[in-house]
Structure 1
Protein backbone atom coordinates (compact mmCIF):
# COMPACT_ATOMS: atom_id res chain seq x y z
CA UNK A 1 0.00 0.00 0.00
CA UNK A 2 1.14 3.52 -0.69
CA UNK A 3 0.19 6.48 1.46
CA UNK A 4 -1.16 9.71 0.06
CA UNK A 5 -2.56 12.74 1.80
CA UNK A 6 -4.87 15.57 0.97
CA UNK A 7 -8.52 16.38 0.71
CA UNK A 8 -10.62 13.58 -0.72
CA UNK A 9 -14.28 14.23 -1.55
CA UNK A 10 -16.75 11.90 0.15
CA UNK A 11 -19.83 10.56 -1.60
CA UNK A 12 -22.03 12.92 0.39
CA UNK A 13 -20.30 16.09 -0.77
CA UNK A 14 -18.19 16.57 2.37
CA UNK A 15 -14.40 16.41 2.35
CA UNK A 16 -12.05 14.01 4.14
CA UNK A 17 -9.04 15.78 5.65
CA UNK A 18 -6.83 12.88 6.66
CA UNK A 19 -4.44 10.50 4.98
CA UNK A 20 -5.47 7.76 2.62
CA UNK A 21 -3.94 4.41 1.76
CA UNK A 22 -3.93 3.48 -1.91
CA UNK A 23 -4.34 -0.25 -2.59
CA UNK A 24 -1.06 -1.41 -4.13
CA UNK A 25 -1.06 -2.96 -7.61
CA UNK A 26 -1.43 -6.71 -7.39
CA UNK A 27 -3.23 -6.59 -4.02
CA UNK A 28 -6.85 -7.79 -3.88
CA UNK A 29 -9.12 -4.73 -3.92
CA UNK A 30 -11.46 -4.53 -0.93
CA UNK A 31 -15.09 -3.58 -1.48
CA UNK A 32 -18.01 -2.69 0.76
CA UNK A 33 -21.76 -2.97 0.19
CA UNK A 34 -24.08 -1.31 2.70
CA UNK A 35 -27.51 -2.92 2.99
CA UNK A 36 -30.20 -1.24 5.11
CA UNK A 37 -32.86 -3.39 6.79
CA UNK A 38 -35.69 -1.59 8.56
CA UNK A 39 -36.05 -3.04 12.05
CA UNK A 40 -39.43 -4.60 12.86
CA UNK A 41 -39.81 -2.45 15.98
CA UNK A 42 -37.73 0.69 15.57
CA UNK A 43 -34.70 1.94 13.67
CA UNK A 44 -32.56 0.23 11.06
CA UNK A 45 -30.14 -2.68 10.99
CA UNK A 46 -27.15 -1.86 8.81
CA UNK A 47 -25.45 -4.83 7.16
CA UNK A 48 -21.91 -4.15 5.98
CA UNK A 49 -20.90 -6.73 3.37
CA UNK A 50 -17.18 -6.74 2.55
CA UNK A 51 -14.93 -8.61 0.13
CA UNK A 52 -11.14 -8.87 0.29
CA UNK A 53 -11.31 -7.25 3.74
CA UNK A 54 -11.35 -8.52 7.34
CA UNK A 55 -12.45 -6.59 10.39
CA UNK A 56 -9.52 -6.57 12.84
CA UNK A 57 -10.52 -4.81 16.07
CA UNK A 58 -7.53 -6.34 17.83
CA UNK A 59 -5.21 -4.46 15.44
CA UNK A 60 -6.73 -0.98 15.67
CA UNK A 61 -4.12 1.79 16.05
CA UNK A 62 -1.36 -0.45 14.66
CA UNK A 63 0.47 -0.40 11.34
CA UNK A 64 -1.45 -0.98 8.13
CA UNK A 65 -1.83 -4.55 6.98
CA UNK A 66 -3.33 -5.16 3.53
CA UNK A 67 -6.91 -6.39 3.61
CA UNK A 68 -7.73 -5.63 7.24
CA UNK A 69 -8.95 -2.79 9.41
CA UNK A 70 -12.31 -1.35 10.40
CA UNK A 71 -15.06 0.83 8.94
CA UNK A 72 -16.32 4.31 9.72
CA UNK A 73 -20.06 5.01 9.80
CA UNK A 74 -21.14 8.50 8.79
CA UNK A 75 -24.67 9.87 8.95
CA UNK A 76 -25.32 13.09 7.06
CA UNK A 77 -21.59 13.83 6.85
CA UNK A 78 -20.91 13.28 10.58
CA UNK A 79 -18.91 10.33 11.89
CA UNK A 80 -21.18 8.29 14.17
CA UNK A 81 -19.16 5.17 14.95
CA UNK A 82 -16.20 2.97 14.23
CA UNK A 83 -17.37 -0.47 13.04
CA UNK A 84 -15.53 -3.68 13.92
CA UNK A 85 -18.02 -6.06 12.37
CA UNK A 86 -20.69 -6.57 9.74
CA UNK A 87 -23.76 -5.31 11.61
CA UNK A 88 -24.75 -2.05 13.32
CA UNK A 89 -28.10 -1.02 14.82
CA UNK A 90 -29.04 2.58 14.04
CA UNK A 91 -31.85 3.59 16.35
CA UNK A 92 -32.80 7.16 15.46
CA UNK A 93 -32.62 9.39 12.41
CA UNK A 94 -34.19 12.81 11.90
CA UNK A 95 -37.16 13.19 9.55
CA UNK A 96 -36.23 13.69 5.90
CA UNK A 97 -33.42 12.42 3.70
CA UNK A 98 -30.51 10.82 5.61
CA UNK A 99 -27.25 9.93 3.87
CA UNK A 100 -25.61 6.86 5.43
CA UNK A 101 -22.02 6.11 4.36
CA UNK A 102 -19.68 3.31 5.40
CA UNK A 103 -16.01 3.60 4.44
CA UNK A 104 -13.25 1.04 4.86
CA UNK A 105 -10.22 2.11 6.87
CA UNK A 106 -6.79 0.71 7.63
CA UNK A 107 -5.76 -0.23 11.16
CA UNK A 108 -4.27 3.25 11.65
CA UNK A 109 -7.58 4.88 10.52
CA UNK A 110 -6.40 6.01 7.08
CA UNK A 111 -9.12 5.72 4.45
CA UNK A 112 -8.65 2.93 1.92
CA UNK A 113 -8.71 4.10 -1.69
CA UNK A 114 -8.45 2.43 -5.08
CA UNK A 115 -7.34 4.55 -8.05
CA UNK A 116 -7.82 7.64 -5.87
CA UNK A 117 -11.45 6.77 -5.04
CA UNK A 118 -12.56 6.07 -1.46
CA UNK A 119 -13.70 2.50 -0.84
CA UNK A 120 -17.14 3.18 0.57
CA UNK A 121 -20.84 2.71 -0.03
CA UNK A 122 -23.71 5.10 0.56
CA UNK A 123 -27.43 4.55 1.06
CA UNK A 124 -30.20 7.07 1.60
CA UNK A 125 -32.86 6.50 4.23
CA UNK A 126 -36.00 8.61 3.93
CA UNK A 127 -37.66 9.14 7.32
CA UNK A 128 -41.24 10.40 7.12
CA UNK A 129 -42.19 13.40 9.21
CA UNK A 130 -44.14 12.35 12.25
CA UNK A 131 -47.73 13.46 12.20
CA UNK A 132 -49.42 14.36 15.44
CA UNK A 133 -53.16 14.08 15.94
CA UNK A 134 -55.02 16.29 18.39
CA UNK A 135 -58.08 14.79 20.04
Structure 2
Protein backbone atom coordinates (compact mmCIF):
# COMPACT_ATOMS: atom_id res chain seq x y z
CA UNK A 1 0.00 0.00 0.00
CA UNK A 2 2.83 2.38 0.96
CA UNK A 3 4.64 1.56 -2.29
CA UNK A 4 1.48 2.25 -4.28
CA UNK A 5 1.01 5.64 -2.59
CA UNK A 6 4.67 6.47 -3.21
CA UNK A 7 4.30 5.57 -6.88
CA UNK A 8 1.23 7.78 -7.20
CA UNK A 9 3.07 10.67 -5.56
CA UNK A 10 6.04 10.25 -7.91
CA UNK A 11 3.80 10.07 -10.97
CA UNK A 12 1.93 13.16 -9.80
CA UNK A 13 5.18 15.05 -9.31
CA UNK A 14 6.34 14.04 -12.80
CA UNK A 15 3.04 15.21 -14.29
CA UNK A 16 3.31 18.56 -12.53
CA UNK A 17 6.91 18.92 -13.68
CA UNK A 18 5.92 18.09 -17.25
CA UNK A 19 3.07 20.60 -17.12
CA UNK A 20 5.31 23.34 -15.76
CA UNK A 21 7.94 22.57 -18.37
CA UNK A 22 5.39 22.80 -21.16
CA UNK A 23 3.80 25.94 -19.77
CA UNK A 24 7.13 27.79 -19.57
CA UNK A 25 7.76 26.96 -23.22
CA UNK A 26 4.47 28.42 -24.36
CA UNK A 27 4.27 31.96 -25.78
CA UNK A 28 3.23 34.62 -23.30
CA UNK A 29 2.69 37.81 -25.27
CA UNK A 30 1.12 41.08 -24.23
CA UNK A 31 0.07 43.87 -26.58
CA UNK A 32 1.01 47.43 -25.69
CA UNK A 33 0.79 50.94 -27.17
CA UNK A 34 -1.72 50.06 -29.90
CA UNK A 35 -2.45 53.20 -31.95
CA UNK A 36 -4.36 53.99 -35.13
CA UNK A 37 -2.77 56.85 -37.07
CA UNK A 38 -4.91 58.51 -39.78
CA UNK A 39 -3.48 58.33 -43.29
CA UNK A 40 -3.22 61.76 -44.89
CA UNK A 41 -5.70 62.25 -47.72
CA UNK A 42 -7.48 58.92 -47.25
CA UNK A 43 -10.61 59.19 -45.11
CA UNK A 44 -11.28 56.19 -42.93
CA UNK A 45 -7.82 54.68 -43.50
CA UNK A 46 -5.42 54.17 -40.61
CA UNK A 47 -2.00 52.74 -40.02
CA UNK A 48 -1.99 50.64 -36.84
CA UNK A 49 1.17 50.34 -34.76
CA UNK A 50 1.64 48.27 -31.60
CA UNK A 51 4.21 46.49 -29.47
CA UNK A 52 4.22 42.73 -28.90
CA UNK A 53 6.12 41.96 -25.69
CA UNK A 54 7.04 38.29 -25.47
CA UNK A 55 7.86 36.71 -22.11
CA UNK A 56 7.70 33.19 -23.54
CA UNK A 57 9.06 31.25 -26.49
CA UNK A 58 9.35 32.56 -30.04
CA UNK A 59 5.94 33.23 -31.61
CA UNK A 60 4.95 34.12 -35.16
CA UNK A 61 2.52 36.99 -35.75
CA UNK A 62 -0.24 35.91 -38.15
CA UNK A 63 -2.48 38.97 -38.47
CA UNK A 64 -5.26 40.93 -36.83
CA UNK A 65 -8.98 41.57 -37.15
CA UNK A 66 -11.65 43.93 -35.83
CA UNK A 67 -15.44 43.59 -35.94
CA UNK A 68 -15.64 47.35 -36.54
CA UNK A 69 -13.24 47.47 -39.50
CA UNK A 70 -13.97 46.82 -43.15
CA UNK A 71 -10.38 45.72 -43.70
CA UNK A 72 -7.28 44.92 -41.67
CA UNK A 73 -4.19 43.81 -43.57
CA UNK A 74 -0.48 43.37 -42.91
CA UNK A 75 1.90 45.57 -44.88
CA UNK A 76 5.58 44.61 -44.93
CA UNK A 77 7.38 46.41 -47.79
CA UNK A 78 10.32 44.43 -49.11
CA UNK A 79 9.47 41.34 -47.06
CA UNK A 80 6.13 40.14 -48.42
CA UNK A 81 5.38 36.66 -47.12
CA UNK A 82 8.26 36.61 -44.63
CA UNK A 83 7.54 35.19 -41.18
CA UNK A 84 7.15 37.89 -38.53
CA UNK A 85 8.62 36.17 -35.49
CA UNK A 86 8.62 37.85 -32.10
CA UNK A 87 11.80 36.50 -30.44
CA UNK A 88 11.48 34.68 -27.16
CA UNK A 89 12.09 37.04 -24.26
CA UNK A 90 12.03 40.03 -26.61
CA UNK A 91 9.76 42.51 -28.31
CA UNK A 92 8.52 43.02 -31.84
CA UNK A 93 6.79 46.20 -32.97
CA UNK A 94 4.48 46.91 -35.86
CA UNK A 95 5.77 50.34 -36.86
CA UNK A 96 5.54 52.88 -39.66
CA UNK A 97 9.15 52.20 -40.72
CA UNK A 98 8.65 48.43 -40.86
CA UNK A 99 5.88 45.86 -40.94
CA UNK A 100 2.56 47.40 -39.84
CA UNK A 101 -1.20 47.07 -40.17
CA UNK A 102 -3.48 49.04 -42.47
CA UNK A 103 -7.06 49.37 -41.26
CA UNK A 104 -10.09 50.79 -43.03
CA UNK A 105 -13.25 51.67 -41.13
CA UNK A 106 -14.17 52.48 -37.59
CA UNK A 107 -17.12 54.67 -38.55
CA UNK A 108 -18.02 58.19 -37.44
CA UNK A 109 -17.78 57.15 -33.81
CA UNK A 110 -14.05 56.44 -34.11
CA UNK A 111 -12.49 59.85 -33.53
CA UNK A 112 -9.54 61.32 -31.66
CA UNK A 113 -9.11 59.57 -28.31
CA UNK A 114 -11.64 56.88 -29.18
CA UNK A 115 -11.01 53.15 -29.15
CA UNK A 116 -11.47 50.30 -31.61
CA UNK A 117 -11.40 46.60 -30.64
CA UNK A 118 -8.63 44.56 -32.24
CA UNK A 119 -7.74 40.88 -32.01
CA UNK A 120 -4.12 39.97 -32.68
CA UNK A 121 -3.52 36.39 -33.86
CA UNK A 122 -0.43 34.19 -33.81
CA UNK A 123 0.32 31.07 -35.85
CA UNK A 124 0.09 28.81 -32.81
CA UNK A 125 -3.57 29.80 -32.48
CA UNK A 126 -3.11 32.28 -29.66
CA UNK A 127 -5.45 35.27 -29.93
CA UNK A 128 -5.05 38.43 -27.88
CA UNK A 129 -7.83 41.00 -27.58
CA UNK A 130 -6.76 44.61 -27.24
CA UNK A 131 -7.96 48.13 -28.00
CA UNK A 132 -6.50 50.59 -30.50
CA UNK A 133 -6.65 54.29 -29.68
CA UNK A 134 -7.24 56.90 -32.39
CA UNK A 135 -4.10 59.07 -32.28
CA UNK A 136 -5.93 62.26 -33.23
CA UNK A 137 -4.27 64.99 -35.25
CA UNK A 138 -1.10 63.09 -36.10
CA UNK A 139 -1.12 61.79 -39.67
CA UNK A 140 0.98 59.12 -41.26
CA UNK A 141 3.43 60.21 -43.94
CA UNK A 142 5.57 57.64 -45.73
CA UNK A 143 7.44 60.43 -47.48
CA UNK A 144 9.78 61.40 -44.63
CA UNK A 145 13.16 62.43 -46.07
CA UNK A 146 16.49 61.03 -45.02
CA UNK A 147 19.46 63.09 -43.92
CA UNK A 148 22.92 63.23 -45.51
CA UNK A 149 26.07 64.43 -43.75
CA UNK A 150 29.74 64.72 -44.69
CA UNK A 151 31.59 62.53 -44.05
CA UNK A 152 28.85 59.93 -44.37
CA UNK A 153 28.47 57.34 -41.59
CA UNK A 154 29.30 53.72 -42.33
CA UNK A 155 27.90 50.60 -40.66
CA UNK A 156 29.20 47.03 -40.68
CA UNK A 157 27.53 44.03 -39.03
CA UNK A 158 29.71 41.41 -37.34
CA UNK A 159 27.66 38.18 -37.31
CA UNK A 160 28.12 35.34 -34.81
CA UNK A 161 29.92 32.13 -35.70
CA UNK A 162 26.52 30.44 -35.64
CA UNK A 163 23.00 31.82 -35.40
CA UNK A 164 21.51 29.56 -32.72
CA UNK A 165 17.82 28.88 -32.16
CA UNK A 166 18.18 29.79 -28.49
CA UNK A 167 19.42 33.26 -29.44
CA UNK A 168 22.73 34.90 -30.25
CA UNK A 169 24.74 38.09 -29.96
CA UNK A 170 25.31 40.52 -32.83
CA UNK A 171 28.00 43.16 -33.00
CA UNK A 172 28.50 46.08 -35.32
CA UNK A 173 31.06 48.75 -36.07
CA UNK A 174 30.41 52.33 -37.17
CA UNK A 175 32.50 55.18 -38.49
CA UNK A 176 31.67 58.89 -38.60
CA UNK A 177 28.80 58.20 -36.22
CA UNK A 178 28.18 58.25 -32.47
CA UNK A 179 25.39 56.52 -30.56
CA UNK A 180 23.86 59.12 -28.27
CA UNK A 181 20.77 58.50 -26.14
CA UNK A 182 18.48 61.55 -26.04
CA UNK A 183 14.88 62.33 -25.20
CA UNK A 184 12.26 62.25 -27.95
CA UNK A 185 11.96 65.61 -29.64
CA UNK A 186 15.69 66.36 -29.60
CA UNK A 187 16.84 68.19 -32.72
CA UNK A 188 19.14 66.62 -35.28
CA UNK A 189 22.86 66.69 -34.53
CA UNK A 190 24.99 65.65 -37.54
CA UNK A 191 26.77 62.35 -36.96
CA UNK A 192 24.74 61.41 -33.88
CA UNK A 193 21.73 59.20 -33.37
CA UNK A 194 20.67 55.61 -32.89
CA UNK A 195 19.99 52.48 -34.93
CA UNK A 196 16.78 50.62 -35.71
CA UNK A 197 16.80 46.81 -35.81
CA UNK A 198 14.45 44.81 -38.05
CA UNK A 199 13.92 41.07 -38.41
CA UNK A 200 12.15 40.16 -41.67
CA UNK A 201 10.74 43.69 -41.55
CA UNK A 202 9.47 43.43 -37.96
CA UNK A 203 10.99 46.19 -35.86
CA UNK A 204 12.80 44.84 -32.81
CA UNK A 205 13.66 48.22 -31.35
CA UNK A 206 16.22 51.00 -31.08
CA UNK A 207 19.91 50.47 -30.49
CA UNK A 208 22.35 52.76 -28.70
CA UNK A 209 25.32 50.40 -28.59
CA UNK A 210 27.61 48.36 -30.84
CA UNK A 211 26.21 45.06 -29.61
CA UNK A 212 22.77 43.55 -29.11
CA UNK A 213 21.14 40.19 -28.43
CA UNK A 214 18.61 38.44 -30.64
CA UNK A 215 16.26 36.24 -28.61
CA UNK A 216 15.16 32.67 -29.28
CA UNK A 217 13.73 32.09 -32.77
CA UNK A 218 11.58 29.53 -34.54
CA UNK A 219 13.05 27.49 -37.42
CA UNK A 220 13.08 29.42 -40.69
CA UNK A 221 14.88 31.94 -42.86
CA UNK A 222 15.59 35.43 -41.58
CA UNK A 223 16.91 38.76 -42.75
CA UNK A 224 18.29 40.93 -39.95
CA UNK A 225 18.72 44.60 -40.87
CA UNK A 226 20.21 47.46 -38.88
CA UNK A 227 19.88 51.07 -40.06
CA UNK A 228 21.31 54.31 -38.66
CA UNK A 229 18.89 57.11 -37.77
CA UNK A 230 19.12 60.71 -36.60
CA UNK A 231 17.75 62.00 -33.30
CA UNK A 232 14.59 63.09 -35.15
CA UNK A 233 14.18 59.57 -36.59
CA UNK A 234 15.25 60.26 -40.16
CA UNK A 235 17.41 57.61 -41.85
CA UNK A 236 21.01 58.57 -42.53
CA UNK A 237 21.83 58.46 -46.24
CA UNK A 238 25.04 57.86 -48.17
CA UNK A 239 24.85 58.54 -51.91
CA UNK A 240 21.07 58.67 -51.55
CA UNK A 241 20.84 55.20 -49.98
CA UNK A 242 20.08 54.46 -46.30
CA UNK A 243 23.13 53.63 -44.20
CA UNK A 244 22.27 50.05 -43.25
CA UNK A 245 23.66 46.53 -43.09
CA UNK A 246 22.00 43.13 -43.37
CA UNK A 247 22.66 39.60 -42.18
CA UNK A 248 20.76 36.68 -43.72
CA UNK A 249 20.63 33.43 -41.77
CA UNK A 250 18.61 30.26 -41.25
CA UNK A 251 17.50 28.54 -38.07
CA UNK A 252 17.26 24.80 -38.83
- TM class, shorter-length: 0.7 to 0.9
Pick closer, same or farther for the CA change 1:61–1:48 going to 2, 3 Å: farther
- Residue 125 of structure 1 is matched in structure 2 by 249
Q: Does 1:19 align with 2:84?
A: no
Matches for 1:89-108 after TM superposition, within 5 Å: 89-108=213-232
Pick closer, same or farther for the CA change 1:112–1:98 going to 2, 3 Å: same
TM-score w.r.t. the length of structure 2 is 0.42
Contact 1:46 1:88 in 2 (8 A): yes
Comparing both chains, which one has the higher relative contact order based on Cα–Cα distances under 8 Å and sequence gaps of 6 or more? 1
Q: Distance in 2 between matches of 1:40 and 1:100?
A: 14
Structure 2 unaligned spans of 5+: 1-76, 80-95, 98-141
Q: Distance in 1 between matches of 2:230 and 2:154?
A: 13
State the structure with more CA Rg: 2
Contact 1:18 1:110 in 2 (8 A): no
Aligned residues: 115
Contact 1:53 1:68 in 2 (8 A): yes
Out of 149, 152, 155, the position equivalent to 1:29 is: 152
Q: Distance in 2 between matches of 1:118 and 1:70?
A: 13
Where is the helix percentage greater, Structure 1 or Structure 2? 2
Considering only aligned residues, what root-mean-square deviation do their CA atoms show, in Å? Answer: 2.4
- Residue 65 of structure 1 is matched in structure 2 by 189
Query: Cα offset for 1:61?
Result: 3.3
TM-score w.r.t. the length of structure 1 is 0.75
Q: Distance in 1 between matches of 2:165 and 2:243?
A: 31
Q: Does 1:52 align with 2:176?
A: yes
